[in-house]
A = this chain, B = another copy of it.
Amino acid sequence: MFSFAQLTTLLSQRENQILSVTKAPERLYEPIRYMLSLGGKKIRPALVLMSCNLFSDEVEPAVDPALGIEIFHNFTLMHDDLMDRSDMRRGKPTIHKKWNDNTAILSGDAMLILAYQYVSSCKPEILSEVLNLFSTTAREVCEGQQFDMDFETRDRVTEEEYLEMIRLKTAVLLGCALKTGAFAGNADPLDARYLYDFGINIGLAFQLKDDLLDVYGDASVFGKNIGGDIVCNKKTFLLIKALEHADSRQKDVLNHWISLPAFDRDEKVRQVTEIYNQLNIKDIGEEKAVFYYKNAMDCLEKVSVEHARKQELILLAGNLMNRQF
């Protein structure tokens, strides 16, 4: 069995081969290399390899699809950063800031195609099912991003709508990564399905944890400014639950800050967080994350390989739950 660290080292080596493909036009490929060189946690490609490794000691057949899924993830970041007008990503300027909007559009398009090329480099006997899964997932990720943007201009979003949005935007790609790895390891269809569901539940827990870290994280470790979601009125699980549980006074305070066009950033974060605290929103969020985490563990439990082989996935899931960044 390979550890997470061993697998990410392997992935980095292989990723350098993509990075070294220097081709004209430079202006198309340089931003792709830049984006991939920014690093990131490499959770998705590691999940592909770890899932394959559950069923097979040979992870090589999973490497190209793993790289394809990582390239796809970076493509979504490139276009999402442009659509959200985010200036920074992993401590560096985003593509449209460093170059311009058109560069982010076109290099992103080329990256999506490159992702398909790597995903398609799987074993021919699984090509059709890997490709179907990947395309379905890719479309769902776009749908999730559209719902996320739609929610910005809406007054109210229900808990169900929010959970469906993060399922599409975040969770399905983790499920896809795990199921793709299972295909590459010749898992039986039922095990592949359980791993997909494990991924969905881990993905939901992961995003809820992200919502929590945005408010309750340690700024020095989290890497982003605390309260970013509060500042831009993002309808996260926390805000949705707060509006649900608030009494009329608390509702007034929340709606006051939400409707204010100009405000003192720190004061807004402080007062909204204060209401979250009064309503135990942190506990409610943690509880929901734990609920999905437990669901995930139940799914993994059902996968028909010996428990010892599952240790690396259990470890990773635990780390994602307890992460501070």
Contact = CB atoms under 8 A, between A and B. Distances in A.
Interface of A is mostly: helix
Contact of A79 (B106, B131, B135): B106
Contacts of A108: 109
Interface stretch (A48-56, A110-118, A258-266, A284-292): A110-118
Q: How many copies are assembled? A: 2
Contacts of A146: 25, 27-28, 106
Interface in A12-55: 23-25, 27-28
A149 interface: yes
Given A83-B105, A109-B142, A142-B110, A135 B149 contact: no
Nearest to A135: B117
Interface stretch (A120-128, A191-199, A206-214): A120-128
B131 A102 contact: no
Interface string A67-92: 00000000000010011000000000
Nearest to A165: B25
Interface residues of A, number: 36
A145 interface: yes
A248 interface: no
A171 interface: no
A239 interface: no
Contacts of A127: 127-128, 131
B131 A25 contact: no
A150 B83 contact: no
A187 interface: no
A150 B112 contact: no
A220 interface: no
A159 B173 CA distance: 45
Given A116-B116, A116-B135, A82 B105 contact: yes
A131 B131 contact: yes
A120 B128 CA distance: 8
A120 B135 CA distance: 10
Contacts of A113: 112, 135, 138-139, 142
A143 B25 contact: yes
Contact of A109 (B101, B110, B112, B149): B112
10 contacts: A23-B143, A27-B149, A106-B142, A113-B135, A116-B135, A120-B128, A120-B131, A127-B128, A127-B131, A131-B131
